[in-house]
Amino acid sequence: MRFRLTVLTQREGVKQLRVEANSEQAAVHEAAASGAAVLSVRREQVLPFARGWGRAAVPLLLLSQELLALLRAGIGLVESFETLAEKEQSPATRAVLAQILEHLHSGKSLSAALEAHPHAFPPLFVASVRASERTGTLTETLGRYVAYRQQIEAARKKIATALVYPALLLAVGALVTLFLLGYVVPRFSRIFEDRMGDAPLMTRVLIGWGGAIDRHPFEIAAAVLGAIVLLAWAGSRPAARALALRALQALPRVGERLRLFELGRMYRTLGMLLRSGMPAVPALGMVRGLMQESLRASFDRATARIREGLPISTAMADAGLTNPVAVRMLRVGEQAGNMGEMMERLAELYDEENARAVELFSRTFEPILMAVIGLVIGSIVVLMYLPIFELAANIQ
């Protein structure tokens, strides 16, 4: 969901912000974590098929990689953005870069220039840059953000890749079944049309389905297309996505995998912010807006205990956001003073565990799905041939 916030900042006074968040409270927390006082908040109504229209589609990961390469080559910040603007082919991205250059030439900081374009640069990225400006580690922060985005994308690609083959199997099986029911079964039934009353019950049901598809192909195609459009529309609604997520979380093994995925993203984001130089409490406020509702209550309890002075490892353990291995790693990070790095290692541990689970699911589910599809198609073929078998037996 997108929210329009009116905020008050020390540098720029009153201004408007657009924030992507799961709820109004999360949007307020996200803006407050960046040091702004929220004056008002309003949800923007955006049509599902119009999402992304009218705003600059800035490839943030590619832009960060190119900026990082220029800075590491010893080129200054302003000259780096000038180089990026000169080589950019997209008019929308070039316009955003030109406006950033205007802010930089006027003496504003990079974080302030990026904050003026909330549609292109998320608050997490802006907050990381702002923290690095205080410590003079912009290059290192960009490197960590690039690694953070690459790790997130790699985890998503692993899950998507594992689901591609089962989805293709399911689609092919459905198409073959529809072809048999809509084309083969009606034509095959004409062979023994006069003896239909003697056919087995399941064969008569199968032929009835095939006949219905043969007589009303356009109506059935329209119904299938309408169901696909309805599912796409429901997928664009936050309430429907939240309902589907809660249903998945209720499943024993799937819910645990989703929880570990969220915890991995939480620790990776928090570790990146801490390594960028951001204090723990503001970093926790930034991370809260990225979390799902199922973990937000536990995260809020941990944040409250950390504000009271409790160690991060103890607060996270008491809130149920760790396991024994994670608690030990966090304690080592506290003792060694490298909590950010330890959180990133913990996120990698969660990601590896999820990757193994997804691979195991893929190896187990694919043969089961193939067996089910084969059973369905085989049953259709056998039911079509049953009357012929009975007719042959009667002739003998």
pLDDT tens digits, one per residue of 81-102: 999 888 888 888 888 888 899 9
Say whether domain 151-396 belongs to CATH 3.40.50.970: no
Distance CA 23, CA 38 (A): 15
What pLDDT was estimated at residue 46?
Answer: 44
Closest CA to 377 of 216, 194, 184: 184
Closest CA to 260 of 379, 347, 384, 157: 347
Residue 311 corresponds to which tokens in the numbers above? 């160690």
**pTM of the predicted protein model:** 0.62
Closest CA to 3 of 38, 37, 36: 38
The answer to whether 68 and 142 have CB atoms below 8 angstroms apart is yes
The answer to whether 295 and 259 have CB atoms below 8 angstroms apart is yes
- Helices 138-179 and 339-395: angle between axes, nearest 10 degrees: 10
Check whether 289 has a pLDDT greater than 50.
yes
By CB atoms closer than 10 A (0-12, 13-18, 19+), residue 61 is middle
Residues of the chain above pLDDT 90, percent: 3
Check whether 265 has a pLDDT greater than 50.
yes
Check whether 178 has a pLDDT greater than 80.
yes
The answer to whether 204 and 193 have CB atoms below 8 angstroms apart is no
Q: Which residue has the higher pLDDT, 319 or 8?
A: 319
| Range scoring the smallest mean pLDDT among 8-12, 331-335, 338-342 | 8-12
Instruction: Let me know the angle formed at the C-alpha of 53 by 130 and 242, rounded to the nearest 5 degrees.
Output: 75
Mean pLDDT of the residues in the chain:
79
The answer to whether 269 and 148 have CB atoms below 8 angstroms apart is yes
What pLDDT was estimated at residue 51?
Answer: 40
Check whether 33 has a pLDDT greater than 70.
no
State the sign of the Cα–Cα–Cα–Cα dihedral 370, 376, 379, 383.
Answer: negative
Check whether 15 has a pLDDT greater than 60.
yes
Which residues contact residue 38 at a Cβ distance below 8 angstroms, ignoring those fewer than 6 apart? Answer: 5, 6, 7, 28, 31, 32
Check whether 307 has a pLDDT greater than 80.
yes
Cα-based distances in Å from 2 to 25, 45, 149, 220: 12, 8, 21, 37
What pLDDT was estimated at residue 194?
Answer: 58
How many Cα atoms occupy the beta-carbon half-sphere of 71 within 13 Å? Answer: 17
Check whether 266 has a pLDDT greater than 50.
yes
Average pLDDT estimate for 111-137: 83
| Range scoring the smallest mean pLDDT among 33-47, 97-111, 212-226, 311-325 | 33-47
Average pLDDT estimate for 142-160: 80
Count of other CB atoms within 10 angstroms of residue 362 = 17
Q: How confident is the model at residue 79 (pLDDT cuts 50, 70, 90)?
A: very high
By CB atoms closer than 10 A (0-12, 13-18, 19+), residue 132 is buried
Check whether 47 has a pLDDT greater than 60.
no
Q: How confident is the model at residue 386 (pLDDT cuts 50, 70, 90)?
A: confident
Average pLDDT estimate for 104-133: 85
What pLDDT was estimated at residue 53?
Answer: 35
What pLDDT was estimated at residue 30?
Answer: 67
Closest CA to 48 of 222, 225, 238: 238
Check whether 45 has a pLDDT greater than 60.
no
Check whether 350 has a pLDDT greater than 80.
yes
Check whether 26 has a pLDDT greater than 80.
no
N- to C-terminal Cα separation, the chain: 71
